[in-house]
Amino acid sequence: MKIILISNRSDKIRTISLHSWARVLLSVVLLGIPLAVGTLLGVKLADGRWQLLFENSIAEMQHELVVQQGELSHGRQQAANSLSSMTAKLAQMRARLVRLDALGEQLTEIAGLEDGEFDFSSAPGLGGPENQSFVDHHSAIDSQSDLAVLFATLDSSLSKRETQLQILRSMLAEQELTSDRTIAGRPITKGWMSSAYGMRTDPFDGEKRWHAGVDFAGRQGSEVIAVASGVVTWSAEKSGYGLMVEINHSDGYLTRYAHNKENIAKLGMAVKKGDVIAKMGSSGRSTGPHVHFEVFKNGRTVDPATYARRTSP
């Protein structure tokens, strides 16, 4: 191998002959150094790309972690809201059940049912063979939609029960009101009927006279009671009647209780059926302790014995 050197200063040309080892050394120098530098630069560049890729992967993982943490927090918030909603719903249902129990107690009292027949303070007796398929099916109720359906069913059932009990209470209250307004029963708690309605022999002069009521004899001072609910329109002395209580009822009815020892009901007072309105006496035109009881219908007297024999509806 020969190397030719040309000088710019002169026109001389030099020729250098290289032996085989020199040629190898020169090849290594001319080719090896650039190759080594290129390889080194390639490694450096590759290291930079891998580092960049690694950093990008870490950033993506961190972003995904933040997103998942947000979703987890949102899920926890939804679960907490759902639990709070179910807790509030259960509290509302419990309050409604308490009201239903109270309403049931009122109905028991209004209807006059025996104690223990409807005990709303304890759970009702239930039973029956176990249906395994039904148990297996309902044991799987664990999703939110199933719980929503269950709550909706219970809410509908409670609403129906409330409506039914309200209707029953209204019916029983109306029945009780009708019963209170209906003239029925005797105006005394103890005693007997001593004189009937119609023509009779007057106890003072022995002549035939019209008796517009019935007399109930009894012990002096015994209770005189109202035979129906109404408003007291007279509570004072009246000629021939002595101390008298007069009560105005519905449907054109009016009752009088005369010859009292003492009037308890005062003028304008609202009285209920069975209230004590006077004490039996012998005031006015009377021969002894008794109650002169009169019933008026649309301004005319009727036989009180008919109403005295009645029982409340």
pLDDT tens track for 50-74? 556 555 666 676 666 667 677 777 7
Pairing of strands 223-225, 214-217: unpaired
pLDDT in tens, 86-95: 777 777 777 7
Higher pLDDT, 308 or 98: 308
Share of the chain above pLDDT 70, in %: 55
Average pLDDT, the chain: 76
Dihedral of CA 33/35/38/39: which sign? negative
- Going by pLDDT thresholds of 50, 70 and 90, the confidence category of residue 278 is very high
Q: Tens digit of pLDDT for each residue in 143-157?
A: 666 667 777 777 776
Tell me the three state secondary structure of residue 297: strand
Average pLDDT of the segment spanning 118-129: 57
Rounded CA-CA distance 69/73 in Å is 6
Write out the two tokens for 160. 């129906």
Task: For residue 266, give the DSSP letter.
Answer: P
194 and 286 in contact (C-beta within 8 Å)?
Answer: no
pLDDT (average), residues 229-241: 94
Range picked from 4-18, 59-73, 86-100, 234-248 for highest mean pLDDT: 234-248
Cα 177 to Cα 239: distance, rounded to the nearest angstrom: 34
What is the model's pLDDT at position 140?
46
Query: In DSSP terms, which residues pair with 291 in a beta bridge?
Result: 216
Which of left, alpha, beta for 221 (phi over 0: left; psi -120 to 50: alpha)?
A: left
pLDDT at 14: 61
State the pTM of this model: 0.49
pLDDT band at 216 (very low <50, low <70, confident <90, very high): very high
Q: In the prediction, which pLDDT does 9 show? A: 57
28 pLDDT higher than 90: no
Coil, helix or strand at residue 110: helix
Q: What share of the chain is helix, strand, coil (3-state, %, to 5)?
A: 45, 25, 30
Q: Is there a contact between 241 and 213 (Cβ–Cβ < 8 Å)?
A: no
pLDDT at 15: 59
Backbone φ and ψ of 267, nearest 5°: -60, 130
Q: Which amino acid is at 43?
A: V
Q: Does the structure show a pLDDT above 90 at 187?
A: yes
Kindly give, in sequence order, each residue whose CB lies less than 8 Å from that of residue 79, ignoring residues fewer than 6 positions away: none
Predicted confidence at residue 81, as pLDDT, reads: 74
Query: Is residue 292 a contact partner of residue 258, using CB atoms and an 8 Å limit?
Result: yes
Q: Would you state the pLDDT for residue 141? A: 47
Task: Kindly tell me if the per-residue pLDDT of 260 is higher than 90.
Answer: yes
Q: What six digits make up the tokens of 8?
A: 């710019």
Mean pLDDT of 85-109: 72
At 112, the pLDDT band (50, 70, 90 cuts) reads low
Q: In this predicted structure, what is the pLDDT of residue 256?
A: 97
